[in-house]
Structure 1
């Protein structure tokens, strides 16, 4: 894959230098280039003149470049590059830590909370992340806070003191020092530069550009969302998808619209401390950190999948803003049509979801919490499925099952399979959509089987399982291409 590897090994200097020399945006977010003569670090695609080799350094994260004393380029804004696909693909501790840091866990629970979630001491976790990523958890969180601060300065009229605390800083002094160090400008100067480019915030909302690595198969992605809209929780208006978000501090509503080179996000948040987590969850929902070129490298040469990949080279695997919600939706959808699942899920939201403080359009409720569904009693579905949902909800509520982006995927699979009513198909679907596992494959899925039959494959479980081994470690993408192929044929919603 461009600029990185699945095992997390940093590319060689020559590989990195060629990537930066080519100005190829596919490498943005994989690596960061820094120039010792200027003290600035950039994304590889920065249009600035390429420095001499002896003056160039490369780092695996923006935090590592900042820890080495470099400040962010004002021209290419390296902190705004698409995230590294490695943090989605890899299942090791460093990747799990990055997913939790990206969701703002350090701001909410500190490094001790992060280490506890991962099952390590703070000292050992610090050593591990520094060796792997060039920066410890505090530095990684600090880089994330700096990015959030810049977004708030550029997109809201909030007083600078309020921006500091909304971005997660413990003091205004710490905020000022960080902004000066990272961006070589005061907070006021960052805001003034953005004002000269024109306003981006409207009516109390924050508008962001969520970048991605081209190409993006937006039509297929938005069609997936449209087919599964749950009344009261989601809506689709033309090319604008809206939904309610349950965030760490409060409620929020997001609007997502595809645009050239980015997805336009309009966020209405009750608490601006939720800006970072909200943006991160939107990126996960749309799988914007994917690496289409790397995926094609693995799957394009396959005799069966190659034509599908070439037909839709920017196809994403739609993800989730909340793995628990995805798990419940998967159970509701067992052995029923997509339309029927939408109806039942809508009743769950209306009956057991938390009402919004103020409805927005047709959006009225948050998705039900684990506690709410654990005590729901009778649900609008067969008793066996009701028991499965309430059992899973109780297991999540009491901590027996972890459904979050920092959980160990193998452990989640094992804990889910121990629950009555949850079998391999449901587990693989939850891993694929909810946990972002790139190698999940629900091979018994009817849609996948029908797609394979249409491509000349025998509908035999052993045959399908053996075939899928060719697509490791990216079987989730193979599944999505098969589902999309079936939809293109008009055989599936």
Structure 2
């Protein structure tokens, strides 16, 4: 905090008792005395203790903690489900049912470890969604209240005042002009403009290469020249549908653009404050905003901790030059876990056919985007036999769960139990659909020194040899340190 180290933004927050505000570690606005500072694991915990968000550093806009990607326990699973909006849609009882615990047990575990229960954690996310809608759209305040997930306008007004020390109208008036305020010049793809923040260096090119290679016509497209591409796709969401666009060229904080970011000798990635990817969302129902944003964050692996990953993998002689060549390489996830599982089993040509014949057409096409990927229930009759049919049936009847809070071991076992499912495909689904950062597909002798980041190690091997033996849909080599 004293060195304003942006590597820890989103990993913890600090609050200042004399000012009543809470900040991200890199906040440039405050230099408080140590005895006036309190530390919190989440923004929700700081808010629950009566602190409001700093207007200078905007701590609600930081990347999420990478810890929730790694952890497979009930707290990690709960945090992923809350981020996906489950508490807003199903309440604490629904969250607890998905986790297989009582509501009281979930409340106790989250409060004991994070200083805030599920309601407070969901409330913090609603406040952030409301601020985004207030500052980037012309929706009426009443509509924003319900779109952000609040039960009443009164609750919405009280929360915004508590979190931002301002009325909704004042929050809207404070929107940055020339950033993502509603008065900026119209873009070719209109929608809610967003900045998807990440920490540290980010190898956008490698991820966009993969998305371009995998794109399913009608559902996805990648346009533009390398270095300035845009990825667009359709989204099936809890309340409606959406179309998302994400730009390849990262944005960077002013300090980095001016060359004032700190570095640490021997590790050029350290001290890189990170940046953001510009995105736009078109939603048929604005209540889907937080869920859509979280699914894009998982797809682009924006909550990763590249410092921890790179430090661990660079200690291996085999991976050290690969890490040096691509610091901050991400392991992509999935915007729709069930879709990814079907595509992993079906292959690209069959996936394209399934979209043409069984995908749901959008009410109005958006360029080449015309369909949503078919739901598993729609495929059970269309593909009644084989591994794909068994997968669709298991997803449709709930025997296999791939949602944000699914138990990774249980889901992996259910995948392997499907007739004809090969271990390599199951491993791919675990790594990408379930977001497990520590997956080594069969056939790869991954050293223990790669743990808990084996998925990232394999991403480096694939990036270094995109058409070689470690490329997609082919057996993996044995990797030795």
TM over 0.5: yes
Q: Say whether residues 1:62 and 2:68 are aligned partners.
A: no
In the alignment, structure 1 segments of 5+ residues that lack a partner are: 1-19, 334-340, 379-385, 445-463
Runs of 4+ displaced beyond 4 Å: 195-199, 201-204, 488-493
Shift of 1:49: 2.9
The equivalent of 1:23 in structure 2 is: 4
In the alignment, structure 2 segments of 5+ residues that lack a partner are: 252-274, 473-481
Shift of 1:485: 1.1
Within-5 A mapping of 1:15-164? 20-164=1-145
The equivalent of 2:458 in structure 1 is: 479
Question: SS in structure 1 opposite 2:382?
Answer: coil
Aligned partner (choices 326, 333, 354) of residue 340 of structure 2: 326
Distance between the aligned counterparts of 1:469 and 1:352, measured in 2? 43
Shift of 1:184: 0.4
Asked if structure 1 preserves the Cα contact closer than 8 Å seen for 2:219 and 2:373, the reply is: yes
Distance between the aligned counterparts of 1:400 and 1:359, measured in 2? 34
Distance between the aligned counterparts of 2:199 and 2:180, measured in 1? 26
Aligned partner (choices 269, 279, 287) of residue 301 of structure 2: 287
Could you give the per-residue CA deviations for residues 372-400 of structure 1, whole angstroms, max 9, x where no partner exists?
Answer: 1111147xxxxxxx511111111111111
Within-5 A mapping of 1:94-493? 94-194=75-175, 200-201=181-182, 202=186, 205-238=191-224, 239-258=229-248, 259-260=250-251, 261-333=275-347, 341=348, 343-377=349-383, 387-444=386-443, 464-465=444-445, 467-487=446-466, 492=471
Distance between the aligned counterparts of 2:467 and 2:162, measured in 1? 51
Shift of 1:160: 0.3
Aligned residue pairs, count:
439
Distance 1:138 1:62, change over 3 A: same
Shift of 1:491: 8.4
Asked if structure 1 preserves the Cα contact closer than 8 Å seen for 2:92 and 2:103, the reply is: yes
Shift of 1:423: 2.5
Could you give the per-residue CA deviations for residues 122-156 of structure 1, whole angstroms, max 9, x where no partner exists?
Answer: 11110000011110000000000000000000011
Asked if structure 1 preserves the Cα contact closer than 8 Å seen for 2:387 and 2:418, the reply is: yes
Structure holding more helix per residue: 1
The equivalent of 1:10 in structure 2 is: none
Q: What is the RMSD of the two structures over their aligned residues, measured on CA atoms?
A: 1.6
Shift of 1:200: 3.4
Asked if structure 2 preserves the Cα contact closer than 8 Å seen for 1:200 and 1:206, the reply is: no
Shift of 1:488: 7.8
Distance between the aligned counterparts of 2:34 and 2:22, measured in 1? 14
Question: SS in structure 2 opposite 1:214?
Answer: coil
Asked if structure 2 preserves the Cα contact closer than 8 Å seen for 1:429 and 1:441, the reply is: no
Question: SS in structure 1 opposite 2:243?
Answer: strand
Asked if structure 1 preserves the Cα contact closer than 8 Å seen for 2:461 and 2:470, the reply is: no
Distance between the aligned counterparts of 1:34 and 1:297, measured in 2? 30
Asked if structure 1 preserves the Cα contact closer than 8 Å seen for 2:180 and 2:194, the reply is: no
Distance between the aligned counterparts of 1:50 and 1:284, measured in 2? 34
Distance between the aligned counterparts of 1:413 and 1:199, measured in 2? 41
Shift of 1:198: 6.2
- After TM superposition, the score normalised by the length of structure 1 is 0.87
Shift of 1:214: 2.1
Shift of 1:22: 1.2
